[in-house]
Structure 1
């Protein structure tokens, strides 16, 4: 009988230990889910640690768009919009049409709108077709240079430029972009 009591107590202790470990794992999963949620929220207020923060400056670059236009950091004046996409990411595929609609709604003669598709020209063809009517599109090695200048490694990323190459807003959602003024 003593052995049976000892076995029941041991099983109870192991069950309690297992319960405590499970509660710890659940707590950590909730913390990670919150961190992931905050990172992907893209609210433009410093939450996105992997985009340039307001006031930071992109590195100088020179690139040629698919239409042959030369684009440099000095061309991105206050109010310019720069978007980074990759044809290999699902959020990019979802937000590219939204960005195209946003860019189409910008007033004629507005500051430059640049879409950087980080992929070879062949891989970027679908996005280039979508974005080229409303933005200067950069692909291939030139796109990689622009992404490196903005230290962009996660996509999509959106920036609004301030004066002298500084970023005034940045994030992973279109909510960081200014509302287009009514014509």
Structure 2
């Protein structure tokens, strides 16, 4: 019986030592991980960022460039492969309902056929651009996490950014 108790105590102490060793190794690996290897990507373009030059075309033929932003504009970046984008689509549509469609830009990344639910919901409310992955508009915004929502000022500078449409301020008309 004393050998059994001694054996159990030994196995318990060995397990605690093994756990402490594993935690030390994980901490050391995190310290030596290359920059950018750990953590989520930058979720969105921060306020104060000036958009670079880009060129895209809306489904209605509207040219979308830096010059498109002649007054504060709401921009929504969505992806057809993003489940959260589909969930936030009705919230985004509700947020922009009643605004001038020229003051709202909806960018849908993905195949045109897959984008149809987004196009149907947003076309009456916004200028809609459907682009391939890493298209010109999403690249101008630094390929953010999806969905991302912005207010872009008349000077093509981001004035507000958020991951939820409810966090968007409604820009005042100029």
TM-score range (shorter-chain normalised) is: 0.7 to 0.9
Q: Count residues in correspondence.
A: 158
Q: How many Å separate the matches in 2 of 1:143 and 1:103?
A: 25
Q: Structure 1, unaligned stretches of length 5 or more?
A: 29-38, 40-47
* 1:96-175 equivalences in 2 (<5 Å): 96-106=89-99, 108=100, 112-141=103-132, 144-175=135-166
Match of 2:33 in 1: none
Query: What SS is found at the alignment partner of 2:11?
Result: helix
- Greater mean deviation of Cα atoms: 75-84 or 10-19: 10-19
Deviations 1:138-173 (A, max 9, x none): 013498111011112421110101241110011211
In the superposition, relative to structure 1, how do residues 158 and 170 fare at CA in structure 2: closer, same or farther (>3 Å)?
A: same
More helix by share: 1
8 A Cα contact 2:91 2:166, kept in partner: no
In the superposition, relative to structure 1, how do residues 4 and 102 fare at CA in structure 2: closer, same or farther (>3 Å)?
A: closer
The answer to whether structure 1 residue 92 and structure 2 residue 85 are counterparts is yes
Residue 42 of structure 2, aligned match among 33, 49, 55? 49
8 A Cα contact 1:77 1:161, kept in partner: no
Q: How many Å separate the matches in 2 of 1:103 and 1:124?
A: 19
Q: State the superposition RMSD in angstroms.
A: 3.0
- Greater mean deviation of Cα atoms: 97-106 or 61-70: 97-106
Query: What SS is found at the alignment partner of 2:143?
Result: coil
Moved over 6 A (4+): none
Q: Structure 2, unaligned stretches of length 5 or more?
A: 28-39
The answer to whether structure 1 residue 72 and structure 2 residue 65 are counterparts is yes
Match of 1:7 in 2: 7
Residue 82 of structure 1, aligned match among 71, 75, 86? 75
Q: How many Å separate the matches in 1 of 2:144 and 2:59?
A: 22
8 A Cα contact 2:74 2:171, kept in partner: no
